[in-house]
């Protein structure tokens, strides 16, 4: 387990972007998460105060009115039946507190849900599959998988709007430091928005139980400096690398069943069932986050995905060793 952490850390350093491993909701780094953070602190303060006051009342009552061990009389204490004034008081005060909370909530709900996109907005369509994320960039005519690259917005003037859809069951998009969660529901398009303040790698999870490998449907949002984002998009728009030295490997890949599920732009592989592999090696992880993208992991994954992610939709194709060598060497060329 330690090796996962180490490998990921090294990868992060390689990309030059800081990795936000701890997705603390109290360390927001985008506007929606920040609004949610402010109201969270407000609510925590109020409920904390209530806890202290009421808790102290309960504990002090228990201590003060305990039966003394030297009390042997069968005298019952004064039988008090109730008090209308007290009842009114402790009904009205909580109702007032609740009204304050309702008012504040209404404001923040509207602020987050009904926010209008700023002038410079990137639109992404995120489609949930059992157990990976399809990421489309309609403006760039790009389809990738599992990593969501966006431009950072230090001045708050850029944002990324995500249209959320699902191919199968209900999933949920949750990257805590960027925003609260929104579900991906089949036959329905939800939307959410993020504007990461700083460049970096933000971690998240699918947050609606979606079957066997829900736990390994991980999210990475990679926020670049705006120029770097343009560079990344341009790189991704290129069709797959075609290294003449790997033409045999490429032919092997195209002749196997891989192409039924996966797409590699610029080749005969146009499958839509699994993630787009055109620039597989530009991604930091495999299998929606379950393994880091290293040569050994890639080989192990292609050989038998069920080892790392049992129950996932990609079967072991039972490739022979030479076939495996060829497929993996071809995949490793898809930078």
Partner 1 sequence: MASIDYPLEHPRIKGREFSFSETLYKWVATVDHKRLGLMYITSALLFLVIAGLMASAMRIQLAVPNNHFVGPETFNRLFTMHGTTMVFLVGMPIVAGFSNYLVPLMIGARDMAFPRLNAFGFWMFLFGGLLLYYSYFGGGGLSGAGSAPDVGWFAYAPLTSSAFSRGHATDYWALGILAAGIGTVASAINVIATTLCLRCPGMTLRKMPMFVWVMLIDSWMILLAFPPLTAAQVMLELDRYLGANFFNTQAGGSAVLWQHYFWIFGHPEVYILIFPAFAIVSEVIPIFSRKPLFGRPAMVGAVVAIGFISMGVWAHHMFAVGMTSWANTFFAASSMLVGVPTGIKIFNWTATMYGGKIRFATPMMFCCAFLLQFLVAGLTGIMLAVTPFDWQLHDSYFVVAHFHFTLIGGLVFGVFAGIYYWFPKAIGRMLSEKLGKWHFWLFCIGFNMTFIPLHFAGMLGMPRRVYTYAPGRGWEVWNLIASIGVLFQAAGILCFIWNVVRSSIKGEIAGDDPWDGWTLEWGTSSPPPEYNFEKLPVARSSRPLWDLKHPQDPDWKYE
Contact 265, 247 (CB under 8 A): no
Residue 274 within binding range of partner 1, rule CB under 8 A? no
321 sits in which H/E element: helix 321-331
Residues numbered 250-269 forming contacts with partner 1, rule: CB under 8 A: none
Q: Write down the least CB distance from residue 279 to partner 1, Å.
A: 24
Pick out residues in 150-189 that bind partner 1 (CB under 8 A): 164, 168-170, 172, 174, 176, 179-183, 185-188
Task: State in angstroms the smallest separation of the CB of 194 from partner 1.
Answer: 13
Residues 51-80 interacting with partner 1 (rule: CB under 8 A) = 51, 54-55, 57-59, 61-62, 65-67, 71, 76-80
| Cα separation, 222 vs 217, whole angstroms | 16
Stretch touching partner 1 by CB under 8 A, among 46-54, 249-257, 261-269, 318-326: 46-54
One of 215, 251, 270, 273 touching partner 1 (CB under 8 A): 215
Shortest approach of partner 1 to residue 206 CB, angstroms?
7
Whether the Cβ atoms of residue 330 and residue 247 lie closer than 8 Å to each other: no
Q: What is residue 263's DSSP assignment?
A: B
Toward partner 1, which CB reaches closer, 183 or 332? 183
Closest approach of Cβ 122 to partner 1, in Å? 20
- Applying CB under 8 A, which part among 40-48, 242-250, 295-303, 321-329 lies near partner 1? 40-48
CA 309 – CA 215 distance, rounded (Å): 10
Binding mask 126-155 for partner 1 (x = CB under 8 A): ----x-------------------------
Extract the tokens encoding 228. Answer: 């770097």
Cα dist. 227→70, 150, 224 in Å? 80, 11, 8
Q: Which is nearer to partner 1, 124 or 210 (CB)?
A: 210
The backbone torsions φ and ψ at residue 172, rounded to the nearest 5 degrees and listed phi first, read: -150, 135
Of 105 and 120, which CB lies nearer to partner 1 in the complex structure?
Answer: 105
Stretch of 23-31, 136-144, 235-243, 254-262 lying at the interface with partner 1 (CB under 8 A) = 23-31
Taking CA atoms, 284 is separated from 84, 105, 274, in Å, by 65, 38, 17
Helix pair angle (321-331, 295-303), 10° resolution = 130
Number of residues that bind partner 1 (CB under 8 A): 96
- The answer to whether 145 and 158 have CB atoms below 8 angstroms apart is no
Considering only residues 106 to 125 of the shown chain, the ones binding partner 1 according to CB under 8 A are: 106, 108-110, 112-114
The smaller minimum CB distance to partner 1, of residues 98 and 273, is found at 98
300 lies in the binding site for partner 1 (CB under 8 A) = no
Closest CA to 168 of 137, 221, 206, 220: 206
Rounded to 5 degrees, what are φ and ψ at 218?
-95, 160
């Amino acid at each position: 387990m330690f090796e996962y952490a180490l490998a990921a850390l090294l990868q992060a350093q390689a990309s030059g972007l800081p990795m936000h491993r701890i997705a603390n909701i109290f360390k927001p780094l985008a506007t929606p998460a920040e609004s949610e953070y402010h109201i969270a602190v407000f609510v925590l303060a109020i409920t904390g105060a209530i806890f202290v006051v009421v808790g102290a009342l309960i504990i002090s009552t228990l201590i003060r009115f305990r039966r003394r061990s030297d009390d042997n009389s069968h005298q019952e204490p004064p039988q008090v039946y109730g008090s209308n004034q007290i009842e009114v008081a402790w009904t009205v005060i909580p109702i007032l507190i609740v009204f304050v909370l309702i008012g504040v909530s209404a404001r923040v709900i509207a602020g987050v849900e009904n926010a209008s996109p700023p002038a410079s907005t990137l639109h992404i369509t995120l489609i949930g599959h059992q157990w990976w994320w399809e990421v489309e960039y309609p403006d760039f005519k790009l389809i990738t998988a599992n990593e969501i690259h966006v431009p950072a917005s230090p001045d708050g003037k850029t944002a990324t709007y995500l249209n959320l859809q699902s191919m199968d069951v209900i999933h949920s998009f949750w990257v805590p430091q960027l925003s609260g969660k929104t579900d991906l529901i089949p036959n329905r398009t939800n939307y959410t928005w993020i504007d990461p303040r700083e460049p970096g790698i933000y971690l998240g999870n699918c947050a609606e139980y979606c079957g066997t490998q829900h736990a390994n449907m991980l999210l990475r949002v990679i926020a670049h400096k705006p120029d770097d984002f343009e560079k990344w998009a341009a790189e991704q728009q290129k069709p797959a690398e075609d290294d003449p030295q790997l033409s045999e490997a490429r032919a092997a890949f195209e002749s196997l069943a891989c192409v039924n599920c996966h797409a590699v732009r610029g080749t005969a592989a146009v499958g839509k069932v699994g993630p787009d592999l055109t620039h597989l090696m530009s991604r930091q992880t495999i299998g929606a986050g379950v393994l880091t993208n290293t040569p050994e992991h890639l080989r192990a994954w292609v050989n038998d995905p069920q080892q790392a992610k049992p129950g996932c939709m990609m079967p072991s194709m039972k490739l022979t060793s030479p076939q495996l060598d060829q497929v993996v060497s071809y995949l490793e060329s898809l930078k």
